[in-house]
Amino acid sequence: MRKLSLIIVAAMLLSTGNILASDIDGVKPSKNLSAQITKLLEDNSFTDEEADLIAQVRFTLNGEGEIVVLSVDTDHTDLERFVKSRLNYKKVDVSKVEEGKLYTVPVRIAS
């Protein structure tokens, strides 16, 4: 009888541990945000000569869930204007908006 109660307690501890260790949130908000930014920057008018343009975009989210571009670190002014016009004050769907948190996303325009 004593062994049976020990087995039941051990099974309960293992199942509780597995439940607590599981990923409740599912999709990470940063990956979801990155996918939405990719979608906003998809259609562009850059030519093949302007392919492989790279930029580092620093932004934050405001209280309404809108992207506020702080800086675009690149040598190409056309890419900087493009990124700012496409992303600045565009609403994104993020469940937990952390207002004021800084994000940095690498952007690459490929042909």
**Dist CA 5 CA 55 (whole Å):** 61
Nearest alpha carbon to residue 52 among 104, 109, 106: 109
Handedness of CA 92, 98, 99, 104 (dihedral sign): negative
**Dist CA 53 CA 16 (whole Å):** 50
The model carries a pTM of 0.67
Compute φ and ψ for 55, nearest 5 degrees: -150, 155
Length of the chain: 111
Domain ranges of the chain: 26-109
Tens digits of residue pLDDT in 67-104:
999 999 999 888 899 899 999 999 988 877 678 889 89
Q: pLDDT-derived band of residue 56, with 50, 70 and 90 as boundaries?
A: very high
Q: Which fold has domain 26-109?
A: 3.30.1150
